[in-house]
Amino acid sequence: MSDNDKDEISPEEQALADEWAAALEEAGNSDQDDIDALLSNAPPQAAPSKPMPMEEFSGGAGRGPEEDFAVSDSPNLDVILDIPVTISMEVGNTDITIRNLLQLNQGSVVELDRLAGEPLDVKVNGTLIAHGEVVVVNEKFGIRLTDVISPSERIKKLR
């Protein structure tokens, strides 16, 4: 292939270049802010929003993880306080085969991996947050928390 062949533009490339030229000409003197504003349906004179620095969302400098979770110290948590979560108490667990699972019926006993009297695991959305013991309150089961895992320990388990 000669140097002259490289300088020649195919009809397809020329058509594409003409389309781009027409589109750019149609856009006029718009700059990127105007294009962004049109894409977001905002008025052209609106200033683009800047992302907030991460430090505004975190606990801030000089604070420990325990302080980040203190409701009284952090008004930012007010936004999430009404979000529902699932809390569950785990008595124990065991592994069984599907054959044995299908054979279970009323009166069957399943042996668990915990000893009688051992504390239960209290989990929120599947994350262990405490240990407790079963109590009866007004003829209903309840759980008395005996050991609550600190927020810093919970953060370590997430990583």
Q: Is there a domain that residue 145 lies in?
A: yes
CA distances from 13 to 20, 21, 85 (A): 11, 12, 58
Using DSSP bridges, classify how beta strands 87-90 and 120-124 pair: parallel, antiparallel or unpaired: antiparallel
List of residues 6+ apart from 156 with CB closer than 8 A: none
Are 152 and 158 a contacting pair, CB within 8 Å? no
Q: Is 144 part of a structural domain of the chain?
A: yes
For residue 82, is it within any domain?
no
pLDDT beyond 50 at 61: no
Residue-range definition of the domain harbouring residue 127? 119-158
CATH code of the domain in which 130 resides? 2.30.330.10
> How far, in Å, CA of 16 to CA of 24, rounded?
12
Provide the pLDDT confidence category of residue 55 given band limits of 50, 70 and 90: low
User: With the CA atoms of 63, 130, 89 and 119 taken in that order, what torsion angle do they form, in degrees rounded to the nearest 10?
Assistant: 170
Lowest mean pLDDT, pick from 93-102, 124-133, 149-158: 149-158
Domain count, the chain: 1
**pLDDT digits over 95-118, tens only?**
999 999 999 999 999 999 888 888
DSSP character string of 75-110: GGGGGTTT----EEEE-------HHHHHH--TT---
Please state the rounded mean pLDDT for residues 86-92: 89
pLDDT tens across 4-51, in order?
555 577 788 788 778 777 776 666 655 666 666 656 654 444 445 555
